[in-house]
Structure formats: structure tokens, C-alpha cells
A and B are shown apart, each in its own frame.
Chain A
Amino acid sequence: MSCEFYQKRELGEMAESEFSLHLTACSKCQKLIEQDARILTLAQSLQKPVASPLLWAKIENALRAEQQKNRRHRRIYWPEPKWTLLRLAAVLLLGIGLGSYLIFKPKPSEPRLLAGAALQQVEKREREYAAAIAALERTALPQMAKLDAELMLLYRDRLETIDAQIARCQEALAENPSNAHIRRYLLAALQDKKETLRELLQLSG
């Protein structure tokens, strides 16, 4: 089933206003437009893949490695041998500077690994979220049936995606519990779930 007007419009060979006029009288085109709308709606509702929690950490590491590689390749060109004394002085100065920096520098905190106290605090926050979510789930999930089918499916999809994200984080954290990146990701997912359930409750209430 096809109509040359439809094809012309799709290929940009026909003005939209002209096609609109034709559309009112052509059942073939009406059907085609309707089917296009179905395809696009369906395509837009396809599930968005969830990035693994380690993806951004991997990208960050790859970029850091690239940066270091670039630094290694950067060469220092010394001018003439007559500058030897100056070179020695520069190296000496650099040595003294670096030495004093290493001696007096403040102890750095490792940003990617959570220390004991911070870890406990984060775990406490996660437990609070989990408890809030459990309470919300008890109230919100039975209410889901009150929503119209389209909205219910949308929320179900969204909750499934968030759950998948949470499960991946928990899996990754089982191997590396001090990774701040994954912890942050998990907290964001838990917060997202809490907000979604709250939204659901408001809609159904």
C-alpha cells in the first residue's frame, strides 16, 4: 500500500500544507501516517540501556593514561653544552623544591576510596534510603493498579531500569566496597527510586 503523495512528502518534495489537503481525502495516506506515528511512538519507548557502574571510572582511567602517555612523550630539549652549569643549577633548584614539597606537603586524602568513617556514613545513608523505599513500596506498588495502563507501564519500566542499576551497583560494590564512584552512583539510583515511588504515590492518590 503506497501513495505517491506520501512518498513525495516524506522525501521533502511536497509542501506540508499541500499534503495536509490531500490527507483529508486519501485513506491510504491516513493509514500510512497513522502507522508512522505508531512506529515512532514505539521507537521512543524502547528501553534505554543502563551504563555499567564502572563505565565512567574506566573512561576516566583511560583518559588519565592517555594524559600520562602524552606527558612521557613530551621531551625537554637542552640548548647548548655551554649551558651545563645552568642546567645543573636548574636541576638542583628543582630537586630542592621537590624535596621540600614532599616533606611539607599535607597528607592527601584518596578521593576515589572511602575511608572507614566516611564509608560508615555512606552505608548509613544507603540504609536510610532502603528503609524509606521499602516503606514507600508497600504503599505505592498496590496503588499502581489505579493508574491508567499507559502510565502504569511507563512507571513499571522506569522502576525496572532503576532496579537493574541498583543491582549492578551492589554487584560491583560486593567486589570493591570502598569505591566512591560506585557508591555515589548507587546513592543516586536509590534517590531516583525514592522520588519515582513518591511521584507514583502522588499520581495514584
Chain B
Amino acid sequence: MLGLGRRMLGRQEDAEDAVQTAFLKLYRGVKQFQFSAKFSTYLFRIMMNVCFDLMQKRRGKKERAFEEIEISHAPHVDLRLQLEEAINALPERMRACFVLFAVEEMKQDEIAEILNLSVGTVKAQIFHAKARLRILLSEAPVEVKT
């Protein structure tokens, strides 16, 4: 959850605040949990809504500050850094789909449930995200072997 928050909101403090808010919301609304869904999906859905709320507030303030990520000298880390930046630059919903799919390793139907989208939309969002990131990686000078 913290990883998702960090990648959606960009700052560690914001991500931790989002996790705290998500747990409070979970506490307040746990009675609404329907046992037909997976609990982790329910929790991620709350977390995702908190992130979207925070991003909306931030948009109101015209604030968008992603933390500087520590740069290591190893070339593979530079590529990771570039990927982090490219993910941050994706539109919000596309970023959410990609992060849940590629970083959190969730299935597309789970993502659809978390984001309240159709599976087809999720597939399309991931497809477009990969297309954008592919441009970045094809321009990258170093071969990745991680």
C-alpha cells in the first residue's frame, strides 16, 4: 500500500498520510465490506480512492512535487530512475493501472475492480502505458539485465 501511495503521490510523507487515512476509512466502513470481494482488493480500492482525493486536492492547489529520488552511479539504477520518472509522468488513471499491474503484480480483473473500470479499459490503459514507457527504454543507452 505504501508503495502504491508513493508511486501515485510521489512523496513519502503524502504516501504515509494516505496509508493512515486509508486505515481510518477502513475502520469506519469495515461493516460495508462484502465478503464476495477479496479483502486486499477492498483495501487497495480504499487506498486508491484516498490517493485520487489527494491528487484532486493537489490539482486545486496547482501543486505537483515529486520527491527527488536518490541517484546511484550504477547504470541500471539510472534506468530505474528514468522508469520512475516516466511512470510519474503518466496520466493518473494510466499510472494507477500500470503500477497495480507491473509493480504490485495484480491481475487485470482485480485492477478493474479496484479502479471501478471495465477489464477492457484496464487492458487499454496498460497497453498505452507500455507504449509510452517503451519509447523511453528504446532511447535508453544501457542494456538492462535485472
A113 to B144, CA, bound (A): 48
The proximity string for A residues 1-15 relative to B, scoring 1 for CB distances below 8 Å and 0 otherwise, is: 000000100111000
Q: Contact check, A35 vs B134: say whether CB atoms are below 8 A apart.
A: yes
* A58 within 8 A of partner (CB): yes
Which residues of chain A come closer than 8 Å to B123, judged between CB atoms? 10-12
* Chain B stretch 6-22: residues in CB contact (< 8 A) with chain A: 6, 12, 15-16, 19-20
* A131 within 8 A of partner (CB): no
Q: Contact check, B137 vs A38: say whether CB atoms are below 8 A apart.
A: yes
* A40 within 8 A of partner (CB): yes
Question: Shortest beta-carbon distance, B117 to chain A, in Å?
Answer: 14
Q: Contact check, B146 vs A62: say whether CB atoms are below 8 A apart.
A: no
Which residues of chain A come closer than 8 Å to B126, judged between CB atoms? 10
Q: Looking across the interface, which residue of chain A has its beta carbon closest to that of B124?
A: A11
> Which label, helix, strand, loop or mixed, suits the secondary structure of the A interface?
helix
Q: How many residues of B contact A (CB 8 A)?
A: 37
Which residues of chain A come closer than 8 Å to B103, judged between CB atoms? 43-44, 46
Q: Contact check, A42 vs B124: say whether CB atoms are below 8 A apart.
A: no
A36 to B3, CA, bound (A): 22
Q: Looking across the interface, which residue of chain A has its beta carbon closest to that of B28?
A: A66
* Chain A stretch 38-82: residues in CB contact (< 8 A) with chain B: 38-49, 51-52, 55, 58-59, 62-63, 66
* B66 within 8 A of partner (CB): no
* Chain B stretch 88-146: residues in CB contact (< 8 A) with chain A: 98, 102-103, 105, 119-120, 123-124, 126-127, 130, 133-134, 137-138, 144-146
Question: Shortest beta-carbon distance, B81 to chain A, in Å?
Answer: 10
